[in-house]
A and B are shown apart, each in its own frame.
Chain A
Amino acid sequence: MITAPISVPEREHYLNASYGLKSWLLTKDHKRIALLYLATITFFFFLGGLFAVMIRLELLTPEGDMVQSETYNKLFTMHGVNMVFFFLLPAIPAVLGNFLVPLMIGARDLAFPKLNLASWYIFTIGGLFTLYALLSGGVDTGWTFYTPYSTTYSNSFVIATAVGIFIAGFSSILTGLNFIVTIHRMRAPGLTWFRLPLFIWSHYAASLIMVLGTPVIAVTILLLAAERAFHIGIFDPALGGDPVLFQHLFWFYSHPAVYIMILPAMAVISELVAASARKRVYGYEFVAYASVAIAVFGFLVWGHHMFVSGQSVYAGLVFSVLSYLVAVPSAVKVFNWTATLHKGSIALETPMLYTFGFIGLFTIGGMTGLFLAALGLDVHVHDTYFVVAHFHYVMVGGTIMAYLGGLHYWWPKMTGRMYPEILAKLAALTVFIGFNLTFFPQFILGYLGMPRRYHAYPEEFQVLNVMSTAGASVLAVGYLLPMCYFIWSLRYGKVAADNPWGAVGLEWQTLSPPPVENFDEIPTVTHEAYDYVSLPNGSVTPKKEAHVR
């Protein structure tokens, strides 16, 4: 940790090119917009985290004694809504994607910079709606809004929350569109599809889902609101509707949405693996195609959330077998990342620690998906803590690990400062331990039969719940640490070199932080991504600052 004040030579870059609130709120620079998103989703992350802490505290004892049932139900609902719609979905694409897509393809900005800024405003307005719902009393339907509870029975602020999600959805659609157009139209000369970093491939695949899937949840929310507000019978059988129809519509979006969360995470991991091992990602084409395969087939498996909903047995069979088919490309990616490490030259810095964490936890998360897709077994574990553990392994152990790894890796590029390495390693370790202690016991709880969304539970489940709560407090420390030292590093961090990792991506060929226009001169690409053989020091034009450990 170097804390000595270092006088930064006053070079102009995107952070100091202009000053004042207005220069940020009206910026069209994708890099600044990325930071706006970073601030917004960090807020929602810690808000969601606060709810999680309260959930875990309530579950310390079997009795529902800390808060009332109504409150507990609102806590887990607001936790899920915040985390899914206002943190996990935008986290990697809107922050890292926004910052890096133009840099990685050698462009000066996204295709539609104003639309990009509009996306952030739309997202923020959606978030404010949800906050309003929260402050005026909260929602208690669960993040899944199952009907007819949500349309007819709940006395909470369902419509306000749903409208918030509806609005935020447009931001997702617009970001997806922006990425797709940018990736098609704005690649630097010589940057062919198969020279693209895998980060871009995965973001492209995720963008497809954002554009094609999000309208479905928007329509579903409108139908829900129509039934709740005007009693138009769509889902409630008492009004002539069909409650299972809602589940079909909801999961038709929300299953692909889990891939909006994981594909960008895989994007980050591919970059981190390659940079740490100084090697081309093994089986590049397979990893690239796997992203697209996941995006496409991900649209065909929604019914695996409904194996005990009363849908036909044959529908269950089809959804089950398709779920297994989608699992294969995910497995292929894990194998390829692992193979990339073979005979690499592996740097064990913080981003790599998160990458290890990701690979391990995603493997367990994905494998437990195989339990859930097994029809006869899902009958037992559906709607228990087993499912809760599964999706936290993939979303928290997967997506958040990748997000944090990526944030550390690109922090020098984004801010021009290094984070404190030792502290960061400690935090990574804390997150890993805290995570496993929190969520592993939940697999056991789930198989024992503890249903999810239970405010009170039978006594025999207490020990495992106490373990989980203890883990959550460790995890909380692990998440607070990076927030503190990242902020600290803005001022006191060691000044970062342009290419501190000696990586070959185009984003490392420009200055840290990059100039407003990203590149003084648009680079011409002559090599494939991760070509560490032709570019041994990681630089297209060798730079002195690049320190190689």
Chain B
Amino acid sequence: MRPSLPLFPEQASSFASEVDALYFFLVALTAFFSVLIGGLVVFFAIKYRRRKNSPPAVIEAEGIALELTWSIIPLIISLFIFVWGASLYFKGSRPPDDAAEVYAVGKQWMWKIQHMEGRREINELHVPVGRAVKLKMTSEDVIHSFFVPAFRTKADVLPGRYTTVWFKPEKAGAYHLFCAEYCGTKHSGMIGYVYAMEPNDYQNWLVGGTAEGTLAQRGEKLFQDLACTNCHKAEGTGRGPALAGIFGTRIQLEGGAKVLVDEEYIRESALNPTAKVALGYQPVMPTFQGLMTEEGLLSLIEYIKSIGPRKPSDAKSQK
């Protein structure tokens, strides 16, 4: 253990250098104003310090011009920083369409990761270099926060809903993964590593591990085990609607409203089925609250996504 004094975190994602640019700008700005103000204060204090026979204070004429100057200049600088910060934020909130999707579940006190291709890991996340990765995340209990300093990114992970975070690793290596939102006793133990790997290594890694089938296949199995198929028959003749091809479409609800079928909607339909009932169906579906884990739910979502393209017309042919 030799003492080290790092001053600056590693840059390992496409965001890193952009966030750092704003940081350096602000550091320079802060240094400038601190030196200016601090310098003036010290200078005045010395120059105008009260001595035996020093003259009384001079009251200068006050003009509105000076006040306006030092209101408007900070305002302009502030708005400039605002725009800069906001544009980074926008980028961070819009994952590219071709981003690879990975699912993460936070719970006291670990990160559980599921890859589409089937691999699962705990407190580790393997990702390829050079490709955007998008995490869909939820929590089993309290609020956590997914934080990878080397990627300059972070997003809270909430129970009862899905949040996303995305990044594009640019340098192979192992990087700290922290939980940043205080989550109880072992909060500081809810840590791990993100391994950014060269694409080939990553492919090898993906196919390794125990063969449990893909995430969608696990979801399909769950779909059958929980007897969802009894009602959601593929032909659409059951007591519930057929699910093939509905992901990403807008469906009509009882009562006239429309809803986008996304992760959030599927989750709600499984846990609180009577909240939004599809047009033409009875509110007869039982809740599956307590019957499946968050990870199970995610695999179901992945399964539903996998059955059929977005156009309902040719949905049947898929499965």
A347 partner, pick from B40, B50, B71, B108, beta carbons under 8 A: B50
Interface residues of B in 35-87 (CB under 8 A from A): 37-38, 40-42, 44-45, 48-50, 54-60, 62, 66-67, 70-71, 74-75, 78-79, 81-82, 84-87
**Could you tell me the dominant secondary structure of chain A's interface residues?**
helix
B117 at the interface (CB under 8 A from A): no
Give the contact stretch, choosing among A2-10, A34-42, A92-100, A331-339. A331-339
Check A278–B57 contact: CB distance below 8 A: yes
- Say yes or no: B87 contacts A383, CB within 8 Å: no
Residues of B within 8 Å of A344, CB to CB, are: 44, 48, 57-58
B199 beta carbon closer than 8 Å to chain A: no
Name the A residues within 8 Å of B58 (CB-CB).
343-344
Bound together, the chains give a CA A339 to CA B79 distance in angstroms of 25
Complexed CA–CA distance, A455 and B185 (Å): 9
Q: Do the beta carbons of B182 and A338 come within 8 Å of each other?
A: no
- Contacting residues, chain A, for B29 (C-beta < 8 A): 367, 370
Q: Does A244 contact B (CB under 8 A)?
A: yes
Q: Which residues of B contact A363 (CB under 8 A)?
A: 33-34, 37-38
In the docked arrangement, what's the CA distance between A384 and B181, Å? Answer: 9
Contact present for A331 and B70 (CB under 8 Å) = yes
Interface residues of B in 13-35 (CB under 8 A from A): 15, 18-19, 22-23, 26, 29-30, 33-34
Q: How many residues on the A side are at the interface (Cβ–Cβ under 8 A)?
A: 95
Q: Of A162-170, A176-184, A195-203, A279-287, which binds chain B? A: A279-287
Bound: A280/B33 CA distance, A: 24
Q: Is residue A70 contacting chain B, with contact meaning CB distance below 8 A?
A: yes
CA–CA, A448 and B156, complex, Å: 19
- For window 199-253 of chain B, which residues contact chain A by CB distance below 8 Å? none
Partner of B55, one of A73, A313, A345, A455: A345
> B108 to chain A: which residues have CB within 8 Å?
153
Given contacts A345-B54, A374-B85, A376-B22, A324 and B78 within 8 Å (CB-CB): yes
Query: Of B119-127, B128-136, B145-153, B301-309, which binds chain A?
Result: B145-153
Which A residues lie within 8 Å of B183 (CB)? 149
Which segment, of A24-32, A130-138, A302-310, A539-547, faces chain B?
Answer: A302-310
Q: Given the interface contacts A277-B57, A308-B145, A376-B22, does A69 sit within 8 Å of B185 by beta carbon?
A: yes
Known A69-B186, A341-B45, A375-B86; judge A380-B159 contact (CB<8 A).
no
- CA–CA, A339 and B90, complex, Å: 40
When C-beta atoms are compared, the residue in chain B nearest to A144 turns out to be B182
Among A124-183, those with CB < 8 Å from B are 140-142, 146, 148-149, 152-154
A356 touches B48 (CB 8 A): no
Contact of A338 among B18, B40, B187 (CB under 8 A): B40
A543 to chain B, nearest CB (A): 18
Contact B49 A348 (CB under 8 A): yes
Binds B, one of A108-116, A413-421, A459-467, A486-494: A459-467
Beyond the given A279-B59, A332-B71, could you list 12 further A-B residue pairs with CB under 8 A, ordered by the A residue number? A146-B181, A149-B142, A308-B156, A328-B75, A343-B57, A363-B34, A371-B26, A377-B26, A378-B85, A379-B153, A380-B19, A382-B154
